[in-house]
A = this chain, B = another copy of it.
């Protein structure tokens, strides 16, 4: 028998790869943070001598969720300025609040709160695009979660960078600092094609290719943005981003609620990724990302919460559920948004979108042991006909009880291992009372 650190056994296992499979009475052998083998419990127990074990006898075991688009620190603005028109919400609420409150402490506290909420609801990897990315990187590294930091490339002077040049300088230094980090990737985060010049977008593309790094951008979030593109330049932002050389396999386009057939084919041909944010798109009335059409064209689509200010939660299980409902609703076809496809979008396809599917996104040998469990002891989850339906339509966020990244528990039996939730709540409430 082979020694290993941990055997995790579960009543139901959804490894995601192979696709659309439920295995009963299954187990993982984990050693030094890596999955050695996945198989029937008896087979794993016969082959491995573990130092520890986790027995999930009334649980679904699945890969940790991957939140591909968000602005973590905006948890501190959760619930500010509800039910406003988009422009009023930005100009009257969010930007003035950010202008007044933004500093590294804001980002540290808001990111800590965001990570607590994401881990609590089963997210093991997230992508972030916000000011003070070095604070986000440090906070995520300390709390043990996997992260892609898309540092802001934005021309408007702000609390973090007085110029786009300073942003590039700081961001590239951050990229260099985390070059060999096992859980933190640093990418480029040009805010949008309408806020960053063609010259600077080209520069992003050049650097990203040189450094073999990802680029995340807001693209065609709503119809007004596209109309504005045509008014300004006679072509869409998708075409513009392609012309400046940015539309490639390392580009992650958030939202994309508006897309012609030609643009869709272009995105597919270039291998760019799409990040679907159903709650945010519905809440801001931005339109619908046509996930079914993207899937048909072979485009990889990840799932995101966006920031808490436009959600208001960072619970990716809610997005999985909404993605399913919105796919059925928007196509008038209840066979769309099939449960297994939605689960794959929240896990393996999210990892593909972030370029880390060699590392995470499914429960397979040689991948990192990034897994979560859903406790089925809830009156709202009985009886169990179909674990995929439970994951997608069961409102599972609060039923997550164990969360592991690289074989280390971040949540054990609904208790954080690296966060004191009461102490964190005290600091958040104190900040809100004294600063807002």
* Chain A residues at the B interface, C-beta cutoff of 8 Å: 75-80, 82-86, 89, 113, 116-117, 120-121, 279, 281-285, 287-288, 311-315, 318, 322, 324-326, 328-329, 331-339, 377, 379-380, 382-386, 388-390, 393-395, 397-399, 421-422, 424-425, 428-429, 431-432, 436
Give the chain B neighbours of A311 by CB distance below 8 A: 393
Query: Which of chain B's residues has its CB closest to A222's CB?
Result: B332
| CA–CA, A386 and B125, complex, Å | 29
**Contact call B333/A78, Cβ cutoff below 8 A:** no
| A328 x B379 contact (CB < 8 A) | no
A sample of 20 inter-chain contacts (CB < 8 A) reads A78-B382, A78-B383, A82-B338, A83-B334, A83-B335, A89-B334, A116-B379, A117-B379, A120-B379, A281-B329, A282-B325, A283-B328, A285-B331, A285-B336, A318-B395, A379-B425, A383-B428, A383-B432, A395-B395, A398-B399
B120 contacts A85, C-beta separation under 8 Å: no
SS of A interface (majority) = helix
Say which residue of B338, B395, B397, B425 sits within 8 Å of A382 (CB atoms).
B425
Q: For A393, what are the chain B residues with a Cβ–Cβ distance below 8 Å?
A: 79, 82, 283, 311-313
Q: Is the CB of A325 within 8 A of B279?
A: yes
Contact of A313 among B83, B395, B424 (CB under 8 A): B395
Q: In the complex the two chains form, is B334's CB within 8 Å of A283's CB?
A: yes
Least Cβ distance of A367 to chain B in Å? 28
Q: How far is the CB of A261 from chain B (nearest CB, A)?
A: 22
Nearest B residue to A395 by beta-carbon distance? B313
CB atoms of A334 and B85 under 8 A apart: yes
Q: How far is the CA of A395 from the CA of B422 in the complex (A)?
A: 20
Q: Are B397 and A82 in contact (CB under 8 A)?
A: no
Could you tell me if A380 and B83 are in contact, using CB atoms closer than 8 angstroms?
A: no
Question: In the bound complex, how far is the Cα of B385 from the Cα of A76, in angstroms?
Answer: 9
Q: Which of A76, A324, A334 has the most CB of B within 10 A?
A: A334
A79 partner, pick from B117, B390, B395, beta carbons under 8 A: B390
Check if B313 sits within 8 Å of A117, measured CB to CB: no
Q: Which of A336, A339, A425 has the most CB of B within 10 A?
A: A425
- Taking CB atoms, residues of chain B closer than 8 Å to A279 are 325
Tell me if A395 and B82 are in contact (CB < 8 A).
no
Bound-state Cα–Cα, A188 to B424, Å: 52
Q: For A80, give its contact among B324, B385, B395, B421 (CB under 8 Å).
A: B385
Q: How far is the CB of A435 from chain B (nearest CB, A)?
A: 10
Bound together, the chains give a CA A377 to CA B398 distance in angstroms of 13
Contacts of A331 in B (CB 8 A): 285
Residues of chain B within 8 A of A385, CB atoms compared: 77-80, 432, 436
Contacts of A333 in B (CB 8 A): 85, 285
Which residues of chain B come closer than 8 Å to A398, judged between CB atoms? 395, 398-399
